[in-house]
Amino acid sequence: MTKQTPKIIYTLTDEAPLLATFSLLPIIKAFTKSANISIETRDISLSGRIIASFPEFLKADQQQANDLQELGALAKTPEANIVKLPNISASIPQLCDAIGELQSQGYAVPDYPANASTEQDMKVQDTYSKILGSAVNPVLREGNSDRRVAGPVKQYAKNNPHSMGAWESTSKSHVAHMQNGDFYGSEKSVVLDKADSVRIEFTNAKNETTVLKESLSLQAKEVIDASLMSRQALRDFFEEQMQDAKDNNVMLSLHLKATMMKVSDPVMFGHAVTVYYKDVFTKHAALFAELGVDEKNGLGDVYAKIQGLPAEQKAQVEADIMAVYQSRCAIAMVDSDKGITNLHVPNDVIVDASMPAAIRASGKMWGKDGQLHDTKAMIPDRCYAEIFQQTMLFCKEHGAFDVTTMGNVSNVGLMAQKAEEYGSHDKTFILEQAGTIRVIDSSDQVLIEHQVEQGDIWRMCQTKDAPIQDWVKLAVNRANATGQPAIFWLDEKRGHDANI
């Protein structure tokens, strides 16, 4: 800290964390006041970020500063001390809801232009794209994460254990993942021996080349990797698993991260929607195109877009949707009473929250009858899937975890300076045609190359040397402090992990 009065920035975010702030922040201020520490707040909520991004649309008394931009600069200074509460990583439906709420309160922010055609619409869409998804974490996470549970919190959990369902060895619940064609299987990785600038090029079957990303500056010892998700392999996987779930009378669920992974995962979610409801999307293809239905926004977008149709036509679409549930496997529900399925909106089921919740509930999820059922949890990419499958297998053999006796794990995460997937969004592309995609250095040497088909999702990540060194140091320090072994969670079969 500097010689100035010590200062803590406390962030105002969304939903439950914002509600908790009203009771917690006064307590923090009371404790820190006696130590002469000042507490200031900054607004990085979804609504706050929308307001800050469109000053030209608002009255003077409605405008507010871009607090996220300020904190991004502050995070790079030694005196930074920021309490960052959980915030929404907004999907497009969430963003549109927030825009509508602001407009209803007199804020004339522009609508989100789903199909931008004019220069103005494209500018607005580009501004909103910076608010979508994990827009806050890459800015504030200048350092790696060092996560651990405080002793009193752990003891409270042991004394007051939350509910845990009883696991049975006969449980049908399991994780289903792809065997090929996923990001895991296609990953290629390179370590830069010197600082350089690279470009990403796409060449189609006619040998026409398009530069997708130019002049990407890389540091010496930086690890870059690229991988692709095959559209066809993904859709085949979904169809196979949906049929298998029906054959074995097990409920289907899909677990992605369509909020943080705001480019790739909504597309994967959309494929699940159009495969499960293929009869509806095939029959009403022309109508849905006319209405501007976007499968990436889920089945909820169909219901929203058909509201203006004549009653008879609307009823026909709704009847065709309901008919799917007679021919397809059962689908997990987000809200059984309201008929909200796992496939209604992309942000309702997020893998790092939904899978632990299912494991705590005996590997079950809620069905349309309001009861818990065994589930086939589809996690397409093997990068995410296998840890959850191993956890389920462990619980089937040994029973549920016992909160009153189980230990805890400190977690040191590699994420500084947009490491790994945190920095992939501006280097993720949905290919419009088949061809070859290459990462090429300044001397025109090809560093990474993939053959791609139309609709494939290709992405590149980068991880700088300093964050890797710091990650190792943090892990060793944490192990020394706790007396617990340091385990580096890496998979030698992955190109990226092997280089790390």
The pLDDT of residue 11 is above 80: yes
Helix (H, G, I), strand (E, B), or coil: what is residue 423?
helix
265 touches 408 (CB < 8 A): no
Q: According to the model, what pLDDT value does residue 2 have?
A: 52
Determine the Cα angle at 11 with ends 421 and 13, to 5°.
Answer: 70
Which string of DSSP letters, residue by residue, matches 226-246?
EEEE-HHHHHHHHHHHHHHHH
**265: number of Cβ within 10 Å:** 25
How far is CA 98 from its chain centroid? Answer: 19
> Once rounded to an integer, what is the mean pLDDT over residues 73-92?
91
Q: How far is 442 from 426, CA to CA, in rounded Å?
A: 20
H or E segment and range at residue 198: strand 196-204
For 468-492, the pLDDT digits (tens) are: 999 999 999 999 998 999 999 999 9
- Which pLDDT does position 3 carry in this prediction? 64
- What pLDDT digit, counting tens, does each position of 23-47 carry? 999 999 999 999 999 999 999 999 9
> Can you read off the two tokens belonging to residue 377?
């949890």
Cα–Cα distance measured from residue 422 to residue 416, given in angstroms and rounded to the nearest whole number = 9
Q: How far apart are CA 488 and CA 19, in angstroms?
A: 37
pLDDT tens, residue by residue, 261-282: 989 999 999 999 999 999 999 9
Provide mean pLDDT across the span 2-27.
90
Exposed e or buried b per residue across 210-222, where buried means at least 16 C-beta atoms within 10 angstroms of its C-beta: eebeeebebeebb
A 10 A CB-CB count for 374 gives: 20
pLDDT for 138: 78
Q: Which run of H or of E encompasses 375? A: strand 372-378
pLDDT in tens, 360-389: 999 999 999 999 999 999 999 999 899 999
**Cα(65)–Cα(81) distance, rounded to whole angstroms?**
19
Q: How confident is the model at residue 253 (pLDDT cuts 50, 70, 90)?
A: very high
For residue 20, name the pLDDT band (cuts at 50, 70, 90): very high
CB-CB neighbours of 206 under 10 Å = 8
Per-domain residue ranges of the chain: 7-142, 167-180+231-398, 183-228+408-499
In angstroms, the CA 28 to CA 287 distance is: 55
Whether the per-residue pLDDT at 4 is higher than 80: the answer is: no
Interval 275-325: pLDDT, tens: 999 999 999 999 999 999 999 999 999 999 999 999 999 999 999 999 999
| Beta carbons of 457 and 264 less than 8 angstroms apart | yes
Separation CA 290–CA 306 (nearest Å): 11
Q: Which of 278, 184, 176 is nearest to 230 (CA)?
A: 184
Q: Residue 1 above 50 pLDDT?
A: no
- CA–CA distance, 275 with 264 (Å, rounded to integer): 17
Q: Once rounded to an integer, what is the mean pLDDT over residues 145-156?
A: 91
Q: Confidence band (pLDDT; 50, 70, 90) for 137? A: confident
pLDDT score for 479: 94
Report d(CA 44, CA 29) in Å as an integer.
20
**pLDDT for 68:** 95
Q: What is the mean pLDDT of the chain?
A: 95
What letter does residue 342 receive in the DSSP assignment? T
